[in-house]
Chains A and B, each alone.
Chain A
Amino acid sequence: MTDFLPTGIELSYLVAASLFILGLKQLGSPATARQGNFLAAVGMLLAVVVTLLDRQVLNYQMILLGLAIGSGIGAIAAYKVEMTDMPQMVGLLNGLGGAASALVAIGEFWRLLSTGEPVSLEATITIILGVLIGGVTLTGSFVAFAKLQGLLPGAPMTFPLQQPINALLLIGFLVASGYLLMTPENLSVFLGLVAISLVLGVLFVLPIGGGDMPVVISLLNSYSGLAASAAGFVVMNNMLIIAGALVGASGIILTQIMCKAMNRSLTSVLFGAFGGGGSSSIAAAGGSANQDKTVKSVDPEEAAMMLGYARSVVIIPGYGMAVAQAQHSVRELADQLEGKGVEVKYAIHPVAGRMPGHMNVLLAEANVPYPQLYDMDDINPQFEETDVALVIGANDVVNPAARSDASSPIYGMPILEVDKAKHAIVIKRGMSTGFAGVDNDLFYKDKTMMLFGSAKDVVAQLVSEVKQL
């Protein structure tokens, strides 16, 4: 594919790449984000249109049909998806991008084989890389999707000899790659490489727990970019290389932010199987120690009184709120309280929800005013002056053990310091542990009241009780 491309097409690619960079830049600020997304989309359209002018591209009918089908499915999915399901949507789209990149690499290999000429060393290397990254992105994303969608259990899935099997597969991949480099015309070895890549993707995400999904989604996002870059090396096209590298870099930055927010290193997320194996025994031990402690529970009427007569209330939404689709009732409650002169703020933990920034999107959907959302660093010093902290379906992100208990698996993770508020009301279905599988000391504190029930029902009751005050 090193055929000479007319200068016009290359220059258009340059413009498109610039549009991507400008678009990403503008996506970084709330005021310009929408325009940034639009610029990037224009860049993409330009790149697609000029590629269709390429003289290699003659198969117009089928290609336009493909573009139409893809656009239709994409548009319908984008308009139908619930905001709570955004992590799954992004996961799925990642997987499709990875699949496309892998298919490009596979297709190019087939084409080189059918020319009958020997396949060059560089071509083989880039194709192997494209297949590996694309394949891992594809199946890894699909497993992440299945976990988020509840098709697979969210808990880490481990099986005996997992690490040796992974190592064996990796060695197998390297050996087969080496073999293919020496005898590139070997189709069965190549198909073996494709298969190993796909299996590796599954094994890579299976042992990662639901609590670590924000990290995995960011990482797979980065991979989908790298896969596009690899495909770019395969067909020697700078447009793919640049765009893929941009996405790869952005994914890595978000992955780092997520890891920092959970005080976990990337390696411990990938290989640690959080909440399984060793750490679950610690959690179990913590649980038995808490058995003799008592939990105070309140009914909605009493809770409504506490909220209604407070001066300041901080709401801490967690994934439980999102699952119960309670964000609209929460906003209603906040409106009621504000009507009574209560100062209401929202405290957003960086890893609340199932992907970076997920909670902000959900609250935005419920029309919560932007300035009421506070990041962890801004709200933490304010908890001491807060009358009531209302925790809705959050658990690990408010667990004081992260600060005090060095043996806890979540020790060191920055948390929202709800235990410093004068009172805390925790809305929760039951006493079960969060995704990290750790018991929460906050629930046993004297000033903490538990309000049991599904977030949506309970918040709706609170709304009507506050109305009657």
Chain B
Amino acid sequence: MTGTLLASLFVFVLASFVGFEVINKVPPTLHTPLMSGANAISGIAVIGALLISGPKDWNVTVILGLIAVVLATINVVGGFLVTDRMLQMFKKKEVKA
């Protein structure tokens, strides 16, 4: 168990570095879309919610999990769609320019 935790910690730290490197230089124009896009990705908690709401019998965990599924899905779907809506406006402009 401790081994798994350690491995996960490695994954977490390395992924953080990747995040820093990937996003380091972003023009101010894209700050808002980047933030709402990243926000949508943070809805990945939906996976955790799916896993804990999996059992067929009803109990507190499943109920909490299902609520989490709904909330996280709003985050994911709303986040990606609104980001696309914003980026669409930028695109229109580039064609015009």
Contact = CB atoms under 8 A, between A and B. Distances in A.
Interface of A: 1-2, 17, 20-21, 23-25, 27-31, 33-34, 36-38, 40-41, 44, 47-48, 51-52, 54, 56-59, 62-63, 66-67, 69-71, 73-75, 77-79, 81, 83, 86, 89-90, 93-94, 96-97, 99-101, 103-104, 106-108, 110-111, 114, 120, 122, 126, 217-218, 221, 224-225, 227-229, 231-254, 257, 348, 350, 355-358, 360-361, 364-365, 367-371, 373, 375
A110 B60 contact: yes
Interface residues of B, number: 86
Contacts of A107: 52-53, 60-62, 64-65, 68
Contacts of B26: 27-28, 253
B77 A63 contact: no
B39 A221 contact: yes
10 contacts: A34-B87, A57-B50, A62-B66, A63-B54, A71-B73, A71-B74, A74-B77, A79-B81, A236-B8, A245-B18
Is chain B's binding surface mostly helix, strand, loop or mixed? helix
A217 B32 CA distance: 11
Given A33-B30, A221-B42, A66 B85 contact: no
Given A58-B54, A246-B41, A218 B1 contact: no
Contacts of B52: 1, 104, 107-108, 111, 235
**Which of A96, A257, A357 neighbours the largest number of chain B CB atoms within 10 Å of its CB?**
A96
A27 B34 CA distance: 6
Interface in B12-71: 12-13, 15-20, 22-56, 59-62, 64-71
Contacts of A253: 20, 23-24, 26
Contact of B22 (A21, A34, A37): A21
A462 B54 CA distance: 61
Nearest to B85: A78
Contacts of B51: 1, 51, 54, 56-57, 235, 237
B54 A59 contact: yes
B80 A371 contact: no
B16 A245 contact: yes
Given A30-B30, A104-B65, A240-B47, A40 B37 contact: yes
A17 B67 CA distance: 25
Contacts of B5: 122, 126, 233, 236
Contacts of A114: 59-61
Contacts of A56: 51, 54-55
A58 B55 CA distance: 6
Nearest to A77: B78
A50 to B, nearest CB: 9
Given A99-B68, A235-B52, 18 more contacts: A28-B27, A30-B30, A30-B94, A34-B88, A66-B66, A69-B70, A74-B79, A83-B86, A100-B68, A107-B53, A221-B38, A228-B48, A229-B12, A247-B42, A250-B22, A355-B32, A370-B29, A375-B27
